[in-house]
Amino acid sequence: MRESWRWYGGLDRIALTEIVQTGARGIVTALHEIPYGAVWPTDAIRARQAQIAADPALGLEWNVVESLPVHEAIKRGEGDLAPLFANYRQSMANLAACGVRVICYNFMPLLDWTRTDLDAPVRGGGTALRFSQLHMAAFEVHMLRRPGAEADYSDAVLSAAAHWHKTATEADRDRLLASIMAGLPGAFDRYDIEGLRAALGGYRGLDRAALRANYARFLAEVIPAAADLGVRMCVHPDDPPRDLLGLPRIVSDADDIAWVLGQQHTVENGLTLCSGSLGANPANDVPAIARRFAPRIHFAHLRNVAKEDDGSFQEAAHLEGDTDMAALIEVLLDEETRRQEAGRADWEIPFRPDHGHELLSDLGRGTHPGYPLIGRMRGLAELRGVIAGLSYSKARNRDA
């Protein structure tokens, strides 16, 4: 498995020299400065590659794009989309021409990921990302005042949310809004309450069936080009894996993934296996999902969450939480072996330690939420140990 690290380029407070010290050599990045829907020029791609490889002694390589974003008009199925599809295909072609052939993307409407707390306390003084069902209900019902939001929450959660909103200070509410807005993609534009209401209005009437139809059209437009280019497209599951803000989510469980991969029956139409996103759904058996779709997994995000009965969850340490990480990694190692035996040159699955806790010197550094240095390095070291142990055991069994 190829150890990789998400890096935000010039927007990142973590330097490439620090990433090397974690042991990772693959860089997962994107041209975050380019507006959605615009072509990624070859010159800009090569400039980012040159930045990553400027010091050959570091041994770093851009191996995964995360993400090549899908324009919101495509998700809404709105207007003349031919130019947007053409631009997306051209960006794919330019990346392939530069040797970058694994592209992670998502089809979540409006928000990429959503958390209500960016600095929930953990044992010993660190912090973690958290999704509180209570706080989300307070936001939707009392701050956003979304019609029909009450139907998405239990009576107990609604009662607690009403109490929180009544006793919260203006600073508490501002903090909640800022935490939720941290999941907005792109150039980090953020909405106030009125702006979010207006943005949600653009999705009015978009149900699950309509979003699926728009996604199927996207796949039909881009996957044949990916096959021609030798590019592996890999969709990221919904985070969290549930409808949100009245918007449907359609990549949340095994049935959803089967539908996505069934739209284009080719290896280029693949999956980013995110153990944290899928793991937040109590119905999901993440190792079983990985085994079912293993041949179509092109990239993995390895992290863990601890779920609560009311639907809340918190980012756990990588080997803690509810997902059996050793069982999941064993599935990925078995798939790598299968690919090697089939003679595939691209048998190695790139992975990155996802969403670490803020620990030690991470605190106060101001890195992207969920992407500190020390916390992710701890996660990578733990995952590396699991991989080494399982690999050793498998080698001994083969030799026995």
DSSP one-letter code for 384: H
CA distance 385 to 281: 27
**Phi and psi based region of residue 149 (left: phi greater than 0; alpha: psi -120 to 50; beta: remaining):** alpha
Contacts of 19 (CB under 8 A, 6+ apart): 5, 7, 27, 60
- Given the DSSP bridges, would you call strands 232-235 and 269-274 parallel, antiparallel or unpaired? parallel
For 96-148, the DSSP string reads: HHTT--EEEE---SS-SB--SEEEEE-TTS-EEEEE-HHHHHIIIIIIS--TT
Place of tokens 């918190």: 314
- Angle subtended at Cα 339 by Cα 333 and Cα 342, rounded to the nearest 5 degrees: 145
207: left (phi over 0), alpha (psi -120 to 50) or beta: beta
Closest CA to 330 of 286, 298, 296, 276: 286
In the chain, how long is the greatest CA-to-CA distance? 66
Burial of 328 (0-12, 13-18, 19+ CB in 10 A): buried
Q: How far apart are CA 27 and CA 65, in angstroms?
A: 9
Of 81, 76, 72, 79, give the one whose Cα is nearest residue 36: 72
- Catalytic (active-site) positions: 236, 274, 301, 354-355, 371
Q: What is the 3-state secondary structure (H, E, C) of 296-340?
A: HEEEEEECEEEECCCCCEEEECCCCCCCCHHHHHHHHHHHHHHHH
Host H or E run for residue 385: helix 374-399
Sign of CA dihedral 82, 87, 88, 89: positive
Q: How far apart are CA 25 and CA 23, in angstroms?
A: 7
Task: Please check whether residue 105 is in contact with residue 185, taking contact to mean a CB–CB distance below 8 angstroms.
Answer: no
The two three-digit tokens of residue 148, written as one number: 């029909």
Residues present in the chain in total: 400
